[in-house]
Amino acid sequence: MSRPVASRADNPLRDPRDRRLPRIPDPCALVVFGVTGDLATKKLLPAVYDLASRGLLPPGFALFGFARRDWDTRDFKRFARNAVIAHARTEFSEDVWSRLADCLCFTSGSFDDDDAFDEMAKTLDELETVHGTRGNAAFYLAVPPDAFPPVLRQLQRTKLCDTTPLGGWRRVVVEKPFGHDLKSARELNTLVDDVFTGHDVFRIDHYLGKETVQNLLALRFANTLFEPLWNAHYVDSVQITMAEDVGIESRAGFYDATGAARDVLQNHLLQLLALCAMEEPVSFDAESLRIEKRKVLNAISLPSDHERYAVRGQYLQGWLAGRRVPGYLAEPDVPSNSTTETYAAVRLGVETRRWAGVPFYLRAGKRLPRRVTEIAVVFKRAPHLPFAATDTVELGQNQLVIRVQPDEGVTLRFGSKVPGPSVEVREVSMDFLYGEAFTESSPEAYERLVLDVLLGDKTLFPDREEVEASWEVIDPLEEFWSGRPPHTYRAGEWGPIAANTMVERDGRVWRRP
């Protein structure tokens, strides 16, 4: 009689670190506070559906919504269905939805409503029996930052943050911005660490869930081609850009109190800088990665002359995509005297042996000509060109450009001879596109990060020290900008003139994506 063939999962010789096989979380409940907000509607609910569609949710799973709407679970199911149909990455399937809908439940209440939290605690206990969640629960705070403390205190009061007698885990997910300065970040960190253990706190930065950001590590450390050149001997400068063509949309209340530096530079762009500048970790586990990123963040130097190398701006009325759009001060609910920046650019240094003397230019803005996020590593010019000056008029500097979004991929720009009898060297591009090289489409960032939360994998989540080190970079800039009016730029332009002057002063220019 033939023996049954063992699966790869049963193979004792298989490396337990092998992540090529699907990773399925333990049975658990995902509790989303603010489940009717934009984040949950456009990102979290579709991400959970996409995970279900790919078979990556455990058999014992429940999705628990908490919001102020006067709804019951049937109302929540209708709302969630519409959100999934409108925003899910994968094609809508009635079979998948039917299975997921059976796992949904909802509690109505405000964050200071003791009765609502008591009811939620009771329902979570019932889910252990009904859905077999084994007492495991992740609490996702998809709420404004000022709501973090009351929710955390309620979780502490009801002991929902405690592991269950059966040994079930409890985790919390906190959205950025984590505080509004270093002092508030430390206070919030202290509160979170008082309620949950540090191991169970997931500070989410959705940029780290993007495939191209993760590919940056593979590009550097899995290829002999790039790493030997990844240092001050060969790199002239690094430009990190996050451009948005939209305005503030319906986020005036949040955005006017935050601004571009706190909203984008402090988290997204400094995380990209850390991944770009870090040394090779001993392994790709969460702690090894965080150690190397912390070294970079702690080595960042601010410009000695903020006036010349730190620029912020605010968009005026202009033309974008063929239509006239209002200026920031004319946006709904924005105070007419607001000095909040919608554009921020700064030159930073990384004081390590690898990067000493290499400027890192960071910029982020709204109402720019197009939506794009990219990292451009600009290499030094060849020390000697055996060509006449007229032969290389159209030759720029070699560049390696990692496009985070959209059109995810990598571009290598280098010089090549133009066909013909004369000698003429011109800049050309070699492109790699995710959409063309792989048959499987990239998962959305929240899809990957929600799964990692349920798995307890913190590799893609900044820790407390990273968050506080980032605020130590941003706070002096905010102090310098305080009370100073921002420069202006018209919607549809690449930022204020002062930002161009900033890099031109160093003999460089901004790359035009």
Active site residues: 268
CA 57 to chain centre: 23
Q: Both tokens of residue 463? A: 């820790």
From 184, 148, 144, 157, select the one nearest 38 (Cα to Cα): 144
Alpha helical stretches, state H, 300-412? 306-309
What is the distance between the alpha carbons of residues 183 and 478, in angstroms, rounded to a whole number? 13
What is the distance between the alpha carbons of residues 168 and 166, in angstroms, rounded to a whole number? 6
Sign, CA dihedral 313-315-319-321, equals positive
Degrees, nearest 5: CA angle 109-114-119: 70
- The values of phi and psi at residue 115, to 5°, are -65, -40
Sign, CA dihedral 122-128-129-131, equals positive
The 10 Å Cβ neighbour count of residue 130 is: 14
Q: Both tokens of residue 287? A: 């702690």
Are residues 222 and 343 in contact, defined by beta-carbon separation less than 8 angstroms?
no
Query: 327-360 burial, b if ≥16 CB within 10 A, otherwise e?
Result: bbbebeebeeebbbbbbbbbbbbbebebbeebbb
What is the distance between the alpha carbons of residues 2 and 180, in angstroms, rounded to a whole number? 65
Maximum pairwise Cα distance, the chain: 84
The 10 Å Cβ neighbour count of residue 295 is: 16
**How many residues appear in the chain?**
513
- The values of phi and psi at residue 219, to 5°, are -60, -45
**Bridge partners of residue 431, in order along the sequence:** 411
What is the distance between the alpha carbons of residues 70 and 86, in angstroms, rounded to a whole number? 23
Sign, CA dihedral 294-214-177-306, equals positive
Phi-psi sector, 265: left (phi>0), alpha (psi -120 to 50), beta: alpha
Residue 323's H or E segment, with its range, is: strand 323-325
From 209, 151, 202, select the one nearest 178 (Cα to Cα): 202
